[in-house]
């Protein structure tokens, strides 16, 4: 009887003891978090899908769908070493305030870079159906961003409508889809000053994609009325012109 009671008490104590957290020192090597706030802009000003803007040629333009894959965020520390911290994200401006959140070692960083698109190893050889449904490359996660088995994912979609002139109906289609392995681009953006990431703190970084810069920039310009569609068709030069513009379309405001 006594043994039984002792056993019972022991078990009860054991059960309650399991609920108490031991005191541990605060770990200083826990990572921080970098949150990329991804914005759509037009000539530097914030733009929402559906807003009417005017392009470099005076054409009224309405963007109706802008999406891109942001892959493999890296941060450069003061020694010049790049730290890979990111995964694949589908940035979709149909959603409010798209973000990409990554765990980042605490430290000071001077620049960031990321890929726009899907790296070759993941682009065409893996069945989207093989991913869990909440993965950005899955059938559901990539909805509308997958071509076919041979050509893989659409890296960036830039869709909308334009008008010939102010006052005309805005119904000329714009449909730029960039993709295929050769279209993968790495965007490097230096920070204006050192960026400190503290352990267990969230550091926000705004990354802008400027729709106007996709149509006109240092690398050239595009008339949406004469070149309204590019779906990376072989033998056409419009994708190359768009890709050249793309590299200047991202910036840190």
Partner 1 sequence: MRGQTIGAILAALVVLGGCSRCNDPGPCEGCPGEPTPYVLEVPPFFPPMDIPADNPLTVEGVALGRLLFWDVDLSVDRTLSCGSCHLPEHGFTDPNPYSFGVNGAVGTRNAMPLVNLGWAPSYFWDGRALTLEEQILEPVPHPDEMALPWPEAVARLAADPDYPDRFAHAFGDRTVTVERVAQAIAQFLRTMVSAESKFDRWRRGEATLTDSEFRGYQMFLREGGDPETTPGGQFGGDCFHCHTEAGLQFTDYLFRNNGLDPSFEADPGRAAVTGWALDSGKFKVPTLRNVALTGPYMHDGRFATLEAVIEHYNTGGVPSSTIDPFMKYQSGGLTLSAGQKADLLAFLHTLTDTAFVHRPEFSDPH
Cα 51 from Cα 66, distance rounded (Å) = 13
Q: Is 159 in the site for partner 1 (CB under 8 A)?
A: yes
Can you tell me which residue has the tokens 């030069």? 237
Which pair of structure tokens corresponds to residue 160? Answer: 């909308």
Q: Which stretch binds partner 1 (CB under 8 A): 25-33, 37-45, 173-181, 190-198?
A: 173-181
Please give the Cα distance from 232 to 10 (Å, whole number).
71
Q: Residue 91: left if φ>0, alpha if ψ -120 to 50, beta else—which one?
A: beta
The pairing of beta strand 45-46 with beta strand 99-104: unpaired
> Phi and psi for 190 in degrees, rounded to 5?
-70, 145
With vertex at residue 176, the alpha carbon angle to CA 233 and CA 131, rounded to the nearest 5 degrees, is 85
Task: Please report whether residue 3 would count as binding partner 1 according to CB under 8 A.
Answer: yes
How far apart are the C-alpha atoms of 201 and 4, rounded to whole Å? 51
Residues 86-125 that bind partner 1 (CB under 8 A): none
Residue closest to 251 by CA, chosen among 66, 111, 154: 111
**Site residue total, partner 1 (CB under 8 A):** 47
Binding residues for partner 1 restricted to 219-238, rule: CB under 8 A: 227-231, 233, 236, 238
State the minimum distance, in angstroms, from the CB of residue 216 to partner 1: 19
Which pair of structure tokens corresponds to residue 227? 């070149």
Residue from 25, 27, 169, 193 touching partner 1 (CB under 8 A): that is 169
Shortest reach from residue 159's CB to partner 1, in Å: 5
CA–CA separation, 76 and 52 (whole Å): 37
- Interface of this chain with partner 1, residues 17 to 76, rule: CB under 8 A: 49-50, 64
Query: Does 165 interact with partner 1 (rule: CB under 8 A)?
Result: no
Interacting residue with partner 1 among 115, 161, 195, 245 (CB under 8 A): 161
Least spacing, CB of residue 217 vs partner 1, in Å:
21
Measured from the CB atom, the residue of 123 and 142 that comes closer to partner 1 is 142
CB of 147 to partner 1, least distance (A): 7
Q: 46, 166, 171, 198: which one contacts partner 1 (CB under 8 A)?
A: 171
CB 116 within 8 A of CB 187: yes
> Footprint of partner 1 on this chain (CB under 8 A)?
1, 3-5, 7-8, 11-12, 14-15, 49-50, 64, 127-133, 138-140, 142-144, 146-148, 159-161, 169-175, 227-231, 233, 236, 238
């Amino acid at each position: 009887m006594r043994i039984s009671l002792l056993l019972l008490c022991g078990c009860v104590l054991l059960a309650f003891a399991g609920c108490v957290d031991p005191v541990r020192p605060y770990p200083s090597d826990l990572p921080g978090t970098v949150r990329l706030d991804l914005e759509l802009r037009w000539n530097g000003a914030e733009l929402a899908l559906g807003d009417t803007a005017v392009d470099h040629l005076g054409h009224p333009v309405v963007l109706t769908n802008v999406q891109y894959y942001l892959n493999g965020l890296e941060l450069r520390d003061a020694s010049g070493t790049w730290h890979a911290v990111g995964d694949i994200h589908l940035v979709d401006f149909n959603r409010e305030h798209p973000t990409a959140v990554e765990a980042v070692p605490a430290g000071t960083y001077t620049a960031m870079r990321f890929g726009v698109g899907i790296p070759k190893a993941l682009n065409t050889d893996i069945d989207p159906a093989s991913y869990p449904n909440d993965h950005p490359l899955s059938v559901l996660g990539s909805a509308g961003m997958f071509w076919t088995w041979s050509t893989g994912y659409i890296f960036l979609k830039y869709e909308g409508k334009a008008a010939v002139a102010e006052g005309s109906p805005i119904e000329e289609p714009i449909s730029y889809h960039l993709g295929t392995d050769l279209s993968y681009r790495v965007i490097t953006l230096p920070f204006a000053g050192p960026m400190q990431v503290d352990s267990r703190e969230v550091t926000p970084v705004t990354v802008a994609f400027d729709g106007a810069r996709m149509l006109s920039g240092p690398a050239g310009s595009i008339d949406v009325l004469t070149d309204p569609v590019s779906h990376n068709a072989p033998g056409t030069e419009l994708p190359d012109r768009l890709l050249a513009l793309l590299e200047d379309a991202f910036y840190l405001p």
